[in-house]
A and B are shown apart, each in its own frame.
Chain A
Amino acid sequence: MDYSDLIQKLLNGNARAAARLITLVENDIEASENIINAIYSHTGKAYILGITGAPGSGKSTFISTLTKFYADQGKKIGIICIDPTSPLTGGALLGDRIRMKDNFSLKNVFIRSMANRGQLGGLARATEDAVKLLDAYGCDIIIVETVGVGQSEVDIFKSAQTVVVLLVPGLGDDIQAIKAGIMEITDVFVVNKMDLSGADKKIADITQMLELGMNYKYESENDGENISLKSEWTPEIVKVNSRTGENFEKLIELIDKHRDFLSKSGVMANYQKNRIKSETLQILKHKITKKVEGLISSNPTIDEYIRLVMDKSLDPYSMANLIIKLLGLE
């Protein structure tokens, strides 16, 4: 399949081409290969924010307001909203778009809804590819938004440059609701709905939690002769009101501050290395899983093994080892 026409349009800023290419990378890994191959050199300009928060934290209003601030600065913004797929039906209600409170004009804001399609569905890969497409399309800022409850989502956030977590006063267990893996990589904590009582207490709660834990996100590798400085970013905390826009300038300052930190301290290079490793690992996992599934489903020897396991003559670990042998993957 030849995607060069679509890709050319994408690079010229055609929204429909962008949307169609995103559909292709969502559904078809072979297409992804060809597409990403062609556009990879055009990526790297966009700045990626990962935003999450428990239900009720006001994510959509927050993102809407943040987007408006960026749009007023003349920036082009891409937003990817991720919603869970129902494990029962395989379907999904993608309800984030409708909650965006402003109607943005097509010129500067591109919003795309995606379903997470089950934890093994390669969500992280598809989102990564969609991000690259929006990057090549011309977005200055790309926001990836999700509820943050699954492992896939943690993987997505690993590839964001600034991770923002939204908390709300009065929602007692929202800190616990955010998956631990994400808390450890949060760069900016935002207390939304600052007009509610308990905002300052929430800030105190977060500060306390941070003092107890430590942030290892930016620990550099030991490069051999040169021992890199261990550079650290202390997560910032800010309170905002998404309905009125209060304190958003401060928030954007903090995001910019983080962006500077990443570029100046040399952490960026490290981060990018890790990101590439993680991304490639995702792709490998996806490909290998697919290959193994394919081989297993067409191989009668596997049925034999299963029978043995049912008889308790074999245990699942031993069976797995036998399969590895069978596939020549030792």
Chain B
Amino acid sequence: MTEIDESKTLKPTKTERREKFTNLSDIEIKRFYTPEDIKDFNYDMDLGTPGKFPFTRGAYPNMYRGRLWTMRQFAGFGTAAQTNTRYKFLLDHGTTGLSVAFSLHTIYGYQADDDEALGEVGKEGVSIDTLKDVETLFSGIDLSKISTSMTINAPAAILLAMYIVAAEKQGHSPDKLRGTIQNDILKEYIAQKSWVFPPEPSMRLIIDTIEYCAKNVPQWYTISISGYHIREAGSTAVQELAFTLADGFAYVEAAMKRGLDVDDFAPRLSFFFNSHNNFFEEVCKYRAARRIWAKRLKNKYGAKKSESMRLRFHTQTAGVSLSAQEPENNIARVTIQGLAAVLGGTQSLHTNSFDEALCLPTEKAVKIALRTQQIIAQESGAADTVDPLAGSYYVEWLTNKMEEEAEMYFEKIEALGGVIPAIKANFFQKEIANASYKYQREVEARDRIIVGVNDVQLREPCATPLLKIDEDVAREQIANLQRLRNIRNNEKVQAKLDALKEAAKGTENLMPYIMDAIREYASIGEVMAALKDIFGVYREDSIF
């Protein structure tokens, strides 16, 4: 276990506020930058035109002049009916895409009445057990006219199946559906920790969904390769960049190993990044990400289609940067973070509500968060030209630097044998644990100031009204579930689950089997239990 040196509080010098200025990846920042800092700069090779290789300046030629980013606010709590109401509220106030937050029991594949679900039902997200709940969740919302992102990982294939069937019941065929499932199991082992099965069967399920959607749901994004959670767990911006892209490469390699052509699936991969405090560092991170991805897909994986090399991403402002003290300050933080994502060229954006360090967002708070995006879009001018920060000596220098440091991480990961061996060797987890501990020490030594928290602190009690979820939600959900179990055909459910188990032992694509089971109203918990029997369960080493 490495001991971290006591951080010495940085002192001011005669001419500057501190001895050293570093960003959140510990990169030292100079007083000012000049052409010398980017002396090998080549516009065509390093930047290129927006929408063209290497896509540094943006995924599309006209970006927000053509169409604004999707304002997609993550939401979900209580029962499906309660969340349905929140979705309608958001749609009325200008949200342009839906994003589903699921209850912890759903995420881990437990039913609302399982022991493990005690106290958790509906608290962190909407409680979903069966197809019936999904139908209620989207009741009165035309699924052919809206795109939906579902933040779900281990049971992603099951939720996707339920969404497809729910849309079918609304009268829409799968080829009309647009949306994303997060479905990124590698970052679960690294950061978010909502894994269930071990790595190999998890990858199999993911490739099954990629294969299935390539044929049947062509507009769907089958993975949202995520860095958000890696960052929230405590990584630096460079680590977020490197580990996320490394995961992306791993999925590409796994799909190609299955025999899929890179150009058939790569256009349907998407990414999900964090937007944290250091404004320029974040903008440069997104630009570096696009450039790295484009070059690798072309040069290493032989992609021929432009769409395969184009990195598209969703951004969420950093949850971990929100303060519980003086919560209104978070509105300013989220504005800066949202602006960074926009200047970095995000395709969709979620802005956090100011009360989220205390509870799930209230209606008032989520409205302000949405308005923040709308103000950036309509009033700031940031959306009126593509990649306006290009050409800044600082920005181009930092974009290059982040790319360089990410490449060093790629080498380390490759030396360990790739992402899955590196996960088993606890490489990522150690890097993250060390970075998060170091950050905390810096904050406590006042090397990093968090306004209203560790600089000047007024001991005001928090007067913000909170959103409360009580145990009535659990009671209602459990009652719904029990009622459903009595109405459905339990023999058919069992037969479909048995068929799924048989197929899981082999190598067939499991999506059709999952769809059969959920059509009969098998619950997520029941499907997951069936798969656990065959795949087993993953246990992590706890790394500090």
Chain A residues near B (Cβ < 8 Å): 86, 88, 93, 95, 98-99, 101
Cα of A99 to Cα of B541 in the assembled complex, Å: 6
Query: Which chain B residue shows the least CB distance to A83?
Result: B1
Which chain B positions have C-beta within 8 A of A86? 3
Query: Which chain B residue shows the least CB distance to A95?
Result: B542
For the complex, is B544 an interface residue (Cβ under 8 Å from A)? yes
Q: Which 8 A-B pairs have the closest CB atoms?
A: A98-B542, A101-B539, A88-B3, A93-B544, A99-B541, A93-B1, A95-B542, A86-B3
What mask results when residues 501 to 544 of chain B are scored 1 for a CB within 8 Å of chain A, else 0? Answer: 00000000000000000000000000000000000000101101
Cα of A95 to Cα of B544 in the assembled complex, Å: 10
Query: Which chain A residue shows the least CB distance to B539?
Result: A101
Number of A-B contacts (CB under 8 A): 10
Query: Which chain B residue shows the least CB distance to A100?
Result: B539
Q: A168 to nearest B CB, angstroms?
A: 14
Which chain A positions have C-beta within 8 A of B544? 93, 95
Query: Which chain B residue shows the least CB distance to A86?
Result: B3
What is the predominant secondary structure among interface residues of chain B facing chain A?
Answer: loop
Cα of A93 to Cα of B1 in the assembled complex, Å: 9
Q: B423 to nearest A CB, angstroms?
A: 16
What is the predominant secondary structure among interface residues of chain A facing chain B?
Answer: loop
Q: List 10 A-B contacts (CB under 8 A).
A: A86-B3, A88-B3, A93-B1, A93-B544, A95-B542, A95-B544, A98-B542, A99-B541, A99-B542, A101-B539
In B365-420, the 8 Å CB interface with A consists of: none
Q: B6 to nearest A CB, angstroms?
A: 10
Which chain B positions have C-beta within 8 A of A95? 542, 544
In B179-217, the 8 Å CB interface with A consists of: none
Query: Which chain A residue shows the least CB distance to B544?
Result: A93
Which chain B positions have C-beta within 8 A of A99? 541-542
Cα of A88 to Cα of B2 in the assembled complex, Å: 12
Known: A86-B3, A98-B542. 8 other contacts (CB 8 A): A88-B3, A93-B1, A93-B544, A95-B542, A95-B544, A99-B541, A99-B542, A101-B539
What mask results when residues 151 to 163 of chain B are scored 1 for a CB within 8 Å of chain A, else 0? Answer: 0000000000000
Which chain B positions have C-beta within 8 A of A93? 1, 544
Cα of A86 to Cα of B3 in the assembled complex, Å: 9
Query: Which chain A residue shows the least CB distance to B3?
Result: A88
What mask results when residues 1 to 15 of chain B are scored 1 for a CB within 8 Å of chain A, else 0? Answer: 101000000000000
Cα of A314 to Cα of B393 in the assembled complex, Å: 68
Query: Which chain A residue shows the least CB distance to B541?
Result: A99
Cα of A99 to Cα of B539 in the assembled complex, Å: 9
Cα of A86 to Cα of B4 in the assembled complex, Å: 13
Which chain A positions have C-beta within 8 A of B539? 101
Query: Which chain B residue shows the least CB distance to A102?
Result: B539
Which chain A positions have C-beta within 8 A of B1? 93
Cα of A114 to Cα of B486 in the assembled complex, Å: 52
Q: A93 to nearest B CB, angstroms?
A: 6
Query: Which chain B residue shows the least CB distance to A60?
Result: B541
Which chain B positions have C-beta within 8 A of A101? 539
Query: Which chain A residue shows the least CB distance to B425?
Result: A56
What mask results when residues 127 to 139 of chain B are scored 1 for a CB within 8 Å of chain A, else 0? Answer: 0000000000000
What mask results when residues 38 to 65 of chain B are scored 1 for a CB within 8 Å of chain A, else 0? Answer: 0000000000000000000000000000
Cα of A88 to Cα of B6 in the assembled complex, Å: 12
Query: Which chain A residue shows the least CB distance to B543?
Result: A95
Which chain A positions have C-beta within 8 A of B3? 86, 88
Cα of A88 to Cα of B4 in the assembled complex, Å: 11
Which chain B positions have C-beta within 8 A of A88? 3
Cα of A88 to Cα of B1 in the assembled complex, Å: 12
Q: B430 to nearest A CB, angstroms?
A: 13
Which chain A positions have C-beta within 8 A of B541? 99
Cα of A86 to Cα of B2 in the assembled complex, Å: 11
Q: B198 to nearest A CB, angstroms?
A: 11
Q: B468 to nearest A CB, angstroms?
A: 33
Q: A54 to nearest B CB, angstroms?
A: 15
Cα of A307 to Cα of B265 in the assembled complex, Å: 80
Cα of A99 to Cα of B426 in the assembled complex, Å: 14
Which chain B positions have C-beta within 8 A of A98? 542
Q: A104 to nearest B CB, angstroms?
A: 14
Cα of A99 to Cα of B542 in the assembled complex, Å: 8
Query: Which chain B residue shows the least CB distance to A56?
Result: B425
Q: B201 to nearest A CB, angstroms?
A: 15
Cα of A98 to Cα of B539 in the assembled complex, Å: 10
Query: Which chain A residue shows the least CB distance to B1?
Result: A93
Query: Which chain B residue shows the least CB distance to A92?
Result: B1
Q: A326 to nearest B CB, angstroms?
A: 40
Which chain A positions have C-beta within 8 A of B542? 95, 98-99
Q: A103 to nearest B CB, angstroms?
A: 10
Cα of A99 to Cα of B3 in the assembled complex, Å: 21
What mask results when residues 272 to 294 of chain B are scored 1 for a CB within 8 Å of chain A, else 0? Answer: 00000000000000000000000
Q: A120 to nearest B CB, angstroms?
A: 21
